[in-house]
Amino acid sequence: VKPINCFILFLFVAFEHFGQVNQFIPYSHDQGLQSRFIYDICQDDKGNILLATENGLINYNGYQFNEILVKEQKERSFFNSFLLDSQNNIWIGNNRGQVWKRDSKGTIKKIEIPESFNSAIINFYEDYDGEIWISSKTNGIIKLSPTGAQNHYPFNSEIRILNSFQGISRKSFLIGSNEGLYLYRENLNKSLDLVKKIALIPQTKITFIGKENDYFWVGTIDEGLYKIALKKQDELEFELFTSYPELNKYSIKSAISSKNEVLWVSSTGDGLLRIKDNELVHFQESDGLSSESLSQLFKDKEENIWIGTLGKGLMRKYNSPFKPYSINGIEEQEIADIIDYNQEKFLAGSEGLYKSNGLTELVGANSLAQWQGKLFVSTRKNGIYLFNGKGFSLFENSVFQQNKINQILIKENQLYVATSTQGLIVMNLLDRSYEQFNTTNGLTHNEVNSCYVDSKERIWLAMSGGVLNAIEKGEIKIFGNEQGLHAFDFSEIDEDENGVIWISSNGGGLYSYSNNIFKNYSRSEGLHTNYLTSLCTDKKGNIWCAGRDGISRYSLDSEKFYSYNSKTNIYNFSISQKGLKSMGDSLVILGNKGVFLHDRDNDIQNTSSNKLSFTQVLINDSLFQFDKKIELANGKYSLAAKFQKISFTNQQEIQYRFYLDGQEDSYGPAFNDPSCYYPGLLSGDQKLKIISSDGNGNWDEEPLVLELSIDIPIYQKPYFILLCILGLIGIFTSYILYKEKRNKNIQNYLNTELDNRTAEVRSQKEELAEKNKEIEDSIIYAERIQKSMLPNSKLLTENTKDHFILFKPRDIVSGDFYWFTETKEHFIFAGADCTGHGVPGSMMSMICISELNKTIQIHKEVNPAEILKRVDHGVKIALHQNTDMQANDGMDIGLCVLEKKAKRILFSGAGRPCYFIQNDELHVIKGSRNHIGGAQEEEKSFEVHEIDVSNKTKIYLSSDGFVDQFGGPKGKKYMRKQFREMLSSEHTKSMSDQRDALNQSFQNWKGNLEQVDDVLVMGLEF
Amino acid sequence: VKNFIVHILCMFPILILGQAIPSDSENIENLITFSKDAPSQWGDDDNVQTFFAFIPFDYNEPFYIRIFDPNVGGFLDAAYGDKVFDSSTQFSIYGGEGAHSDPDAQGIDPVGNYKSGTLLDYKVFSDEKKYDMQWVTFGPFNPIEGEYDKSLNGYIFKIIAEGLEGNDGNLYSYYLSRHDNLNKPIDGANAFTYEYTFRLKSKGNIAHVYPFIDENVIAIKQFNFDLDADGDIKLYSVSKNGEDAKVSGDNSWDSSSHTVTEEEKFKCVDLQILRKVNTKNDVSLYVLNQYDEAIRFFSSPLGSHKYVYQFSVTPKEKE
């Protein structure tokens, strides 16, 4: 037998004085449970514990008790049974045969049952067809089909009182009566017939039938407990598996088995029974039960055992994985270390060194070690003592006394002393030589919290300040942030069986070191806290680490953390620095209330498998149903949601992460607070997604989802946009149509107007044409008159050698005119240009011609200047230009008088020149600047120029119509210069050719432009 | 009357420790119920004994009805005929509506719907040795399983002991307890019956039964059965100081009427039965009022007062 096993045996045998720990957590009035009688217990799919009580149906979510169904105030009844069926409906029965059904939405409906069915509802059963069987104490059984049909099966003669009812297979039932256990079967004719009495069970009062897996527990009032099962499903033959006849002195109310093959049995007056390996433990009020009158036992999903009492509310069996033990006097002491020395247990406590039989009077021991039968005891302030079993003596006082020792460790004859001021001191216990590692030889600093010598003889030093030092063959290595270590302090170091170094830290959680790589484990991996003060490994592949408020165990097999919250598992227990010790196969926990041992048998890791569920959803502070999508009109909303993942053992370790899909991209950090708040929700579809961890770092794979739909603004809605587009199209189309119609109307109006105007214009045109024709006819007639007044060209022919007259009236009648007459000795000819053209010009020409004729014929004047004077005078008179009436009408004229005999031509010009060519030379005689007619009152004088025509002379007279004609490539006037050049260049031609050349030149120059004035050019050759 | 009873029950709950049936104050050895084949001359006229347990309204914890020696056989019980116990007795507990309020439940004889109310539990006992001289517990019961009685402001449970086959006599007693295997009294609880069948103690002992006189009673008539004329019955009250009542003979009923004074109202009359011989005797007893309605016997007497002596002084005539 190994010594350590002896030690463990010693722990359990020698230290029999275990501390008192309340193993039952009461729930009564003080905890908010107003009901005292608990008749039935179950758990819903969300993990809520449901209670049938004398006051109503109660829900407990780990925080508070809520009433689901409350009986009427004056009703003298109680709810004593219920069923949570496969559809999440809750069927509730009372002791007066009344039944209610609460559906999954919370709607409660009373089931109509005949009034004669008035005895207590014993229990409900849902069969394979979803039919609900309601058993009563004395009125038989009612079957409710999903359609609502009822079948009532009264008891036959065998049954007077039904105490329990349990379906076992399709349409077969066990009924516990006061005379034993009966098997009944529903036949096709809808009768409930007795099959047989179960002979395996004594003929006594059957108090309880419970189904657990394929077994049935049958409790009796005075014949113990039985566990039976069907041999074959169809034959309805039972076989007995286990019986507990020794329980015959207890009136058994309920039985349930938990992990580790522990059977729990409740009795109606004798408390709770625990059976394991045929060992019976009886729990009574003196053991912490609030009552010994128990009702139902229930095992929840976390393996918690719930115990209903009659009169004292509810209890929960608390399975502590830590078993306290103590030596007298240390219960209130903070224990720092523990060691087995000389088959006796020694503890380093705040008030001294304790052993099993008492205090040894050393103050402030903090670390223990032994070597060659000697117990080394370190103190914080006074160095190290040797204890020989009777007394203490200082050990190497000169070396250790002033060093504020944190820990001592002995390995291979070496004493390792971790100090706060001098670093690490390593002393060879054989020769008392020692070596010191401190800042002078490379240590980061001198405050060493603890040390550890691993299997490779490396000395690991857990240092303050977040630094880890290791001494390997005298060489100091420093590990810190660069190696990925992020902590305030390192507390302890240990090595597992695989050679992996584990380091606990304050602030950084847990680290492992293997193959030169540090790996971190923190809260996100399931560690209960990142502030660790102690660490140890055990031989079962577990890494234990502790903070002030709990312990975590990391299983190398499952690679998971399992947390033990001290507030839950060890009441008011604070774990010491370096308070975890692995001793043999067991874990020892040192703390401020003595010592606890890890009880592996009771270490049931209760991880909550309950569903995460909403408990409250508030939108703008108004409650909303959360079992369906929430649809909201467009507006401003805030969302506050509360949710829960129920755990009755690990509630504080459960964490939540959430995000609002639609506003956020991913889950936020983990919180313990089961609520969230979003002050401003965006419009559109959004999903609030929440996941929870079970306290051991296992997060939900599927999130809890709350679907929200906030109506988008109307202007963002597709139909609105479509309507807008259609509206715009409609408006545009309407506008187009309107415009078209309007245009059409306008067009019609215009057409009508046009037609009218056209008709009018036509009419006017016709009228105008008619008038024009009349005018034209008049003008044509005037032309004829004018032409008739023009001299006969015969005179020209007679008086000249050749001649031409280029006469191009701008209109039909002309203001220009040529005139000639003959006297006996004179041939008088002129080219004149009256003011205006057309009819006015022609009228002026008529006046001027008349005056010329009158001057020649009446006044016989042949002097050209005098002729012009007379004509001027005559025109003025004719036009009354000598009166006040202002009129500038008149005439420019070039007048030549040929003195036939003298072969001389006298020329006087009024505003017009005379061109003549003699000897191929063109001469120009400018006329007077005075014009014929007009308002000039002064007497006009006209010069007389003489031209000898005895030689060949060509005389040219013209109006200004030729030279003033616009045209040419630049639209300019023809100009006199070009006219003169034309005359010069063409004078050699015959007079008719000259006329054609002039005419051609004029037409070419004018081009498509309009003729601006009457044109007259006359050429006479003498 | 009802208010008065409530008043009394509320004023003296601590004093009432009537959970033992019969109670110490009655000085009755045991209740007895004979099986149905037993001749009536043995003292039980109808083989049924009905008791009513009263639990005060304020008591809101479970309670138990315990029966001492419920089996028919062994040390305590009375075997007749062949001296072999071959009988059985059924004990039934009733609660709910009608358990007491049904008129048949308040009758003298087990006729009609005397098993009214809701059957809460029952058990048939024969000659099982394990129950001999042992307490057997029924329950736990929630007080509200009983029938609420406004006049008493509490809940009433009915306990029927019914002799089944056989001819033996089952001697037993009850206890209303807070505990399932200990007799722990319930504050304010009491028990009553309308007809008593019990075994008298031996010579020299005085048994007391306490019929309650309410305000409507002006006269009572006591009936006793099979007293074998071997003792006396006397009435004691504030107005009666050992008023004699008639005593029945063997296998017969006898009765006597007694007037009730105003001072006796709302109090119990102490009806004392004095044994003069040493033989065992089992008797039945009931009391009717002037309307032939049965009067309740409370295990713990309500409002009983000792006789107040009244002196009449006659002035001596002067010589």
Take residue A317 and report the two structure tokens written for it. 């069996």
Mean pLDDT of A322-339: 75
- Determine if the peptide bond prior to B140 is cis (ω within 30°): yes
Which of B96, B121, B144 lies nearest to residue A54, judging by beta carbons?
Answer: B144
Q: Which segment of A9-13, A20-24, A510-514, A523-527 scores lowest on mean pLDDT?
A: A9-13
Give me the percent of chain A exceeding a pLDDT of 90. Answer: 26
Q: What is the mean pLDDT of chain A?
A: 85
Residue of A nearest to B57 (CA): A76
Token pair in block for residue A669: 């950090």
Q: Measure the CA–CA gap between A496 and A512, rounded to whole angstroms.
A: 10
Cβ–Cβ < 8 Å for A648, A304? yes
Cβ distance of B180 and A270 shorter than 8 Å: yes
**3-state secondary structure (DSSP) of residue A162:** strand
A608 pLDDT band, cuts 50/70/90, is low
Query: Edge-to-edge, what's the strand order for the sheet holding A560-565?
Result: A534-537, A542-547, A550-555, A560-565
- Name the band, by pLDDT with cuts 50, 70 and 90, for residue A716: confident
Q: How confident is residue A520, by pLDDT bands cut at 50, 70 and 90?
A: very high
Give CA–CA dist A680/A690, Å, rounded.
18
* Contact check, Cβ <8 Å, A118/B118: yes
Q: What is the pLDDT of residue A313?
A: 92
For residue A37, which residues of chain B lie inside 8 Å, CB to CB?
Answer: 62, 142
B253 vs A: CB within 8 A: no
Cβ-Cβ contacts under 8 Å for B274 (sequence gap 6 or more): B205, B206, B231, B232, B233, B234
**Nearest residue of A to residue B135 by CA position?**
A249
What single DSSP character describes residue B317? P
**A80: nearest CA in chain B?**
B142
For the segment A230-247, what is each residue's pLDDT rounded down to a tens digit? Answer: 887 667 788 888 888 888
Confidence of residue A162 (pLDDT cuts 50, 70, 90): very high
Residue A15 confidence (pLDDT): 36
Q: Is A858 within 8 Å of A871 (Cβ atoms)?
A: no
The mean pLDDT of A374-402, rounded to a whole number, is 85
User: Which residues of B fall within a CB distance of 8 Å from A252?
Assistant: none
- Any idea what the Cα angle at residue A709 is, between residues A703 and A714, rounded to 5°? 155
pLDDT of residue A12: 37
Residue type, B69: D
Specify the DSSP element, H or E, that contains A739: helix A718-789
Considering only CB atoms, which chain A residues are within 8 Å of B121? 161, 178
CA distance A920 to A904: 18
Residue that has been written with the tokens 């359990």 in this structure? A12
Q: What is the pLDDT of residues B211-259, one digit of tens each?
A: 888 888 899 999 998 888 888 899 988 888 888 999 998 888 999 999 9
Contact A982, A974 (CB under 8 A): no
Q: Which of A4-8, A567-571, B11-15 shows the highest mean pLDDT?
A: A567-571
Q: Distance between the two ends of chain B, CA-based, in angstroms?
A: 52
pLDDT band at residue A7 under the 50/70/90 scheme = very low
**In this predicted structure, what is the pLDDT of residue A160?**
87
Interface of B with A in 38-67 (CB under 8 A): 60-62, 64
Q: What is the mean pLDDT of residues A292-310?
A: 90
- Pairing outcome for strands A704-710 and A630-632: parallel
Cβ pair A120:B118 closer than 8 A: yes
Which of B180, B184, B186 should we substitute to test contact with A (largest number of A Cβ atoms within 10 Å)? B180
CB-closest option in A118, A251, A311 to B62: A311
Res A6: pLDDT: 40
C-alpha to C-alpha distance for A557 and A594, rounded to whole angstroms: 31
Give the neighbor-by-neighbor strand order of the sheet with A180-186. Answer: A162-169, A172-177, A180-186, A192-197
Q: How many CB atoms lie within 10 A of CB B276?
A: 10
Distance from CA of A71 to the nearest CA of B (A): 13
For A:46-105, CB contacts with B below 8 A are: 54, 76-78, 95-96
Closest partner residue to A160 (CB to CB) among B122, B148, B180 is B122
ipTM: 0.82
Q: What pLDDT is attached to residue A428?
A: 93
* Rounded alpha-carbon distances, angstroms, from residue A318 to A302, A303, A310, B87: 11, 10, 20, 49
CA distance to A379, A438, A450, A476, per residue, from A405 (Å): 6, 14, 10, 21
A121 CB neighbours in chain B (<8 A) are: none
Other beta carbons within 10 angstroms of residue B83's beta carbon come to: 7
pLDDT of residue B288: 92
Yes or no: say if B29 and B201 are a contact pair by the CB < 8 Å rule. yes
What is the full DSSP assignment across A425-449?
EEEETTT--EEEESGGGT-S-S-EE
Q: Residues of B with CB below 8 A from A122's CB?
A: none
pLDDT tens for chain B, residues 1 to 319: 444 444 444 344 334 444 788 888 888 889 999 999 888 888 888 899 999 999 998 888 899 999 999 999 998 888 887 778 889 999 999 999 999 999 999 998 999 999 999 999 999 999 999 899 999 999 899 999 999 998 888 999 999 999 999 989 999 999 999 888 889 888 888 899 999 899 888 887 888 888 888 888 899 999 998 888 888 899 988 888 888 999 998 888 999 999 988 888 888 888 899 888 878 888 888 999 988 889 888 887 775 545 555 454 555 554 3
Q: How would DSSP label each residue in B228-267?
A: TT-EEEEEESSS-EEEEE----TT-EEEEEEE--GGGTTE
Neighboring chain A residues of B60 at a CB cutoff of 8 Å:
36, 311
Q: What is the DSSP letter of A856?
A: I
How far B218 CA lies from chain A's nearest CA (Å)? 36
Kindly give, in sequence order, each residue whose CB lies less than 8 Å from that of residue A768, ignoring residues fewer than 6 positions away. Answer: none
| Interface contact A310-B142, CB threshold 8 A | yes
* Predicted confidence (pLDDT) at residue A652 exceeds the cutoff of 90: no
pLDDT digits (tens, 9 = 90+) for A761-816: 778 777 877 877 777 787 788 888 878 878 887 888 888 888 899 988 888 888 88
Is A844's pLDDT higher than 60? yes
Judge whether B144 is closer than 8 Å to chain A, CB to CB: yes
Beta carbons of A660 and A678 less than 8 angstroms apart: yes
- The sign one gets for the Cα dihedral A620, A625, A626, A632 is negative
Instruction: Compute the distance between CA of residue A584 and CA of residue A996 in angstroms, rounded to an integer.
Output: 148
Nearest CA in chain A to B125: A204
Distance from the A16 Cα atom to the nearest Cα atom in chain B, whole angstroms:
31
- B118 — contact with chain A (CB < 8 Å)? yes
Output b/e per residue, A257-285; b: 16+ Cβ within 10 A. Answer: bbeeebbbbbbbbbbbbbbeeeeeeebee
- For residue B181, give the DSSP letter: S
What residues of A are in contact with residue B122 (Cβ under 8 Å)? 160-161, 178
Distance from CA of B61 to the nearest CA of A (A): 5
Residues A205, A219: contact at Cβ < 8 Å?
Answer: no
CA distance B59 to chain A (A): 10
Q: Which residues are CB-neighbours of A753 under 8 A, at least 6 positions away?
A: none
Instruction: Determine how many CB atoms are found less than 10 A away from the CB of residue A826.
Output: 22
User: For A18-22, A324-328, A974-978, which range has the lowest pLDDT when averaged over its residues?
Assistant: A18-22
Interface test with A, best of B101, B123, B149 (most A CBs within 10 A): B123
Give the residue from B95, B195, B77, B101 showing the smallest Cα distance to B140: B95
Of the residues B64, B144, B155, the best mutation for testing chain A's interface (the one with the most A CB atoms within 10 Å of its CB) is: B144
Q: Is the pLDDT of residue A320 over 60?
A: yes
Beta carbons of A310 and B181 less than 8 Å apart: no
Query: What's the predicted TM-score (pTM) here?
Result: 0.66
Instruction: Decide if A534 contacts A550 (C-beta within 8 A).
Output: no
The minimum CA-CA distance between B53 and chain A, rounded to whole Å, is: 17
Angle of helix A976-986 relative to helix A991-1006, nearest 10 degrees, comes to 150
Crossing angle of helices A838-853 and A864-878, in 10° steps, is 120
pLDDT at site B2:
47
C-alpha closest to that of A266 among A41, A519, A10: A41
pLDDT band per the 50, 70, 90 thresholds, residue A4: very low
Instruction: Tell me how far apart the alpha carbons of residues A849 and A817 are, in angstroms, rounded to a whole number.
Output: 8
Q: Does the beta carbon of A270 lie under 8 angstroms from any beta carbon of chain B?
A: yes
